[in-house]
Chain A
Amino acid sequence: MATFVKFTLDGKIYLSEDGAPLVEAARACGVFIPTLCNYTGIPPKGACRICTVLINGLPATACTTKVVEGLNVQTSTPELESFRQAIVEILFAEGNHLCPSCEKSGSCELQALAYRYRVTVPHFPYLFPRRDVEAWHPKLLKDHNRCIQCKRCIRGIRNPAGKALFAFGKRGDRVVINIDPVTSQNISDALAQQAMDICPVGAILRKGKGFDVPIGRRTYDRTPIGAELRS
């Protein structure tokens, strides 16, 4: 049976299951902590850093923190908010994000967070990197321009034999997500859809499907990200 513990979010005391991931516990308490590289159900990685909060006064990523008795969390300070804005801006400047032509527009977590944090004028140099669009896999299209290297696909997607479909290549600002040329030859439509869904942006698309839901009626077109929660 689950044990419950008391913890504090922004000065208010809440109950949560012992050991629950902090991002999810906060959500259950109605408090929004932004995430990008985190995905419910797969092991956290702590890569994007956007979920940084103060734990007992010290910065830590909420996706990799587990709730324990007495945990004291500050989810929002002016510094944390401007840090989050910076992360979103950096991701736009680092890749090539042409939202109006993207199949994920409206359901894209990065775009939704950009609205939330009011990313307007650039504070970071746009790099306009030269990146590929990989369209030769039978079921998947990988647009490297849009990839934010969150690794959700790497951690979350395996074929039925348990083999990886995605993996990192290179390092530093040259990192790319590689798709296994052998595994990708026969994956099911369901797995392709799962890969597309796990990607927070429009970097993985399922081929031969698209624009089922018109722009304007997509997830974050209806309700801005986190709008249902307090922040």
Chain B
Amino acid sequence: MDKTIPAVIKKYNGDETRLMDILIDIQAELGYLSDATIARIAKTLNIPQVDVEQTVSFYHFFAREPRGRYTVYLNDSVVAQFHGRAAVVRAFEEAAGCAFGQVSPDGCIGLFDTACIGMSDQEPAALINDVVFTSLTPAWAREIVAGLRAGKTVAELQGDRLGDGQNAHPLVHAMVCNHIRRRGSMVFDDYQPGAALRRVVALSSSEVIAQVKAASVRGRGGAGFPTGMKWEFARKAPGDVKYIFCNADEGEPGTFKDRVILTELPQLVFEGMAIAGYAVGARQGILYIRNEYRYLRAYLEQVLSDMRANNLLGPLIVGQAGFNFEIKIQYGAGAYVCGEESALIESAEGKRGEPRDRPPFPVEKGYLQRPTVVNNVETLCSVVKVILNGPEWYNNLGTAESKGTKVLSVSGDCEWPGIYEVVWGFSVNDILKMVGARDVQAVQVGGPSGACIAPKEFNRILAYEDLATGGSLIIIGRQRDLLPEVVLNFARFFRDESCGSCVPCRALTGMAQIVLEKIIAGRGTPTDLDRLSAWSAIMKRNRCGLGQTALNPIVTTLKNFRGLYDQRIKAGDDRFEPAFDLAAAVRDYDRAVAGT
């Protein structure tokens, strides 16, 4: 402990904006961040302890207490539940001798829930000391715990299980599978690293932007903002230090396409960042990537250094004077809201991931108050292809307002979950057929923040002009009990992930969960349904997209599956107050008399 803290802080030049890296590295060494550690970090950085604590306590993966020599973070998403998570939980708990949320008495195993880890096509999945375990079964869970107790390493327990493609690369060495079921003509197509960079230097920066605009590339991170316009704002913003961020936070439950793109085509993504740098006049790029994908770190670093060696990054890219661009990797530490671009920037500055109030937008004042572009992984890939094949080629793909292809993450109740690259304009029905889904009750489009749609809408198409989506589809079969198994899980997710800044988001996410639980327990009233609808209007006044969409799971199911709510509502008798829980009201009394 004595040497670790000052050594790590020195590595980052005592720069408090690097607090995320400092905390990640120190926790990796010391296991957790104790009071004494926090005090020491604060003292060495010469900042108040509360300022260290505010960052530490914001992120799920920073531990203030020991979480076991081996820490199991088991995904608790809807899809994991569909695929047998409950039995895996029981097996882990019995074998470890402690419940989830606790550490086993011998300090060996800690069991913790975590939000979607981006493995929805191979659930139940867990992270154990940064190693991904997929398709877990109860038997295997018991074996893992016994193995760890017997002194085996996590790597030994993974054994020779390796996934396809680059997952088997020695530096990745993961059992994760890509499951690329359909390759489109844009992202998962042939690709020659560096070709686009060589082409780009023949153009001026404004010509590059003109091409991106001519192709009407729109952001793939969910909002669909025109990429060319974003770059132009940043290019025109005053200042000569600018930044390009690639957003690989991918926290929306059910989404995992960026993980697969970064596994198979990291050069393509980095090349897209360099092109953005060229167009905007930025010399530094930052890949902000979620902690759950830490197993890709050594591999991504290697790709970056290979690119430097091949003159595709660093000074004088492809020999062009003045074209200098570097990329560094910034890891997150477990917070969905950090996918929101201004929260991502705050986090990269070492702070809590609280979205900023806008204006100013990141293109004017972003990272370290400098003009900053934030783009999704897939957006950057499509730009490379626009440069290579021309805007016209791109415009020939897709629909009137949605050009190019979309990489979809498909999971849930279907035969072939995985990655599908399709041109925009496929209907939900088309996709259900493609993925082998039968007896479908509902489809969650765009993750919890999107919409839960019923079969009558399955003829709608995926496009910005109809069902806009960041690309995730969770298929919900007939056999699922929608309210407790899906809607409640999503409600809890938003409650856990709110940053806590806005009053409605902070309080109503939890209050909505309470009302929903009450309805599910058969104690709801018709007024409760009206309340939930009224609250969603209040939520629209929150600062960021998280709070604005947090009641969507409830609102969209109220609209599309009203019958499921009505069934559970006690109707009729006005004198009856179903909200009143007699057992809870007399619990204290019961307890008191039980002792007499």
Where the two chains meet, the residues of A that have a C-beta atom closer than 8 Å to any C-beta of B are: 44-50, 52, 59, 61, 64, 79, 83, 86-87, 90-91, 93-94, 123-125, 127, 148-149, 151, 163-175, 178-183
In angstroms, Cα B514 to Cα A156, docked, is 35
Residues of A within 8 A of B47 (CB): 163
8 closest cross-chain pairs (CB), A and B = A167-B50, A175-B500, A46-B357, A172-B498, A180-B50, A167-B54, A180-B48, A94-B507
Given known pairs A172-B495, A173-B509, the reply for A178 and B54 (CB within 8 Å) is yes
In the complex, the chain B residue whose C-beta lies closest to that of A63 is: B357
Residues of A within 8 A of B401 (CB): none
Q: What distance in Å separates the Cβ of B16 from its nearest Cβ neighbour in chain A? A: 12
B496-514 Cβ-contact flags toward A at 8 Å (1 or 0)? 1111111110111111001
In the complex, the chain B residue whose C-beta lies closest to that of A66 is: B359
In angstroms, Cα B57 to Cα A42, docked, is 25
Q: What distance in Å separates the Cβ of B528 from its nearest Cβ neighbour in chain A? A: 10
Among B53, B498, B501, B504, contact of A90 (Cβ-Cβ < 8 Å):
B504
Q: Is the CB of A47 within 8 A of B503?
A: yes
Q: Is the CB of A172 within 8 A of B357?
A: no
**Quick one: which of A61, A79, A83, A173 has the most chain B CB within 10 A?**
A173
B52-87 Cβ-contact flags toward A at 8 Å (1 or 0)? 011001100000000000000000000000000000
Q: Is the CB of A171 within 8 A of B541?
A: no
In angstroms, Cα B506 to Cα A124, docked, is 14
Q: Which of B538-565 contact A (CB under 8 A)?
A: 538, 540-543
In the complex, the chain A residue whose C-beta lies closest to that of B54 is: A167
Given known pairs A44-B357, A49-B503, A52-B541, the reply for A166 and B50 (CB within 8 Å) is yes
Q: Is the CB of A83 within 8 A of B538?
A: yes
Q: List 30 A-B contacts (CB under 8 A).
A: A46-B543, A48-B502, A49-B502, A49-B503, A49-B504, A49-B542, A52-B541, A61-B357, A83-B537, A83-B538, A87-B504, A91-B503, A124-B507, A127-B507, A149-B500, A149-B503, A164-B48, A166-B50, A167-B48, A167-B51, A168-B58, A171-B58, A172-B496, A172-B498, A172-B500, A172-B509, A172-B510, A178-B54, A179-B50, A180-B48
Among B50, B506, B542, contact of A178 (Cβ-Cβ < 8 Å):
B50
Q: What distance in Å separates the Cβ of A95 from its nearest Cβ neighbour in chain B? A: 9
In the complex, the chain A residue whose C-beta lies closest to that of B527 is: A123
Judged by a CB distance under 8 angstroms, whether B432 is at the interface is no
Among A45, A174, A180, contact of B500 (Cβ-Cβ < 8 Å):
A174
Residues of B within 8 A of A179 (CB): 50
In angstroms, Cα B514 to Cα A167, docked, is 29
Residues of A within 8 A of B542 (CB): 49
Q: What distance in Å separates the Cβ of A123 from its nearest Cβ neighbour in chain B? A: 7
Residues of B within 8 A of A163 (CB): 47-48
Q: Is the CB of A125 within 8 A of B51?
A: no
Q: What distance in Å separates the Cβ of A166 from its nearest Cβ neighbour in chain B? A: 7
**Quick one: which of B50, B357, B500 has the most chain A CB within 10 A?**
B50
Q: What distance in Å separates the Cβ of A30 from its nearest Cβ neighbour in chain B? A: 25
B219-247 Cβ-contact flags toward A at 8 Å (1 or 0)? 00000000000000000000000000000
Judged by a CB distance under 8 angstroms, whether B49 is at the interface is yes
Q: What distance in Å separates the Cβ of A223 from its nearest Cβ neighbour in chain B? A: 26
In angstroms, Cα B540 to Cα A167, docked, is 27
Among A64, A86, A127, contact of B357 (Cβ-Cβ < 8 Å):
A64
Q: Is the CB of B506 within 8 A of A175?
A: yes
Q: Is the CB of A172 within 8 A of B531?
A: no
Q: Is the CB of B499 within 8 A of A172?
A: yes
Given known pairs A93-B511, A171-B352, the reply for A86 and B538 (CB within 8 Å) is yes
Residues of B within 8 A of A165 (CB): 48, 50
In angstroms, Cα B502 to Cα A163, docked, is 25
In addition to A49-B502, A91-B503, 8 A-B residue pairs with Cβ atoms within 8 Å of each other are A49-B504, A49-B543, A59-B540, A86-B538, A87-B538, A127-B511, A163-B48, A168-B352
Residues of A within 8 A of B48 (CB): 163-165, 167, 180, 182-183
B460-479 Cβ-contact flags toward A at 8 Å (1 or 0)? 00000000000000000000
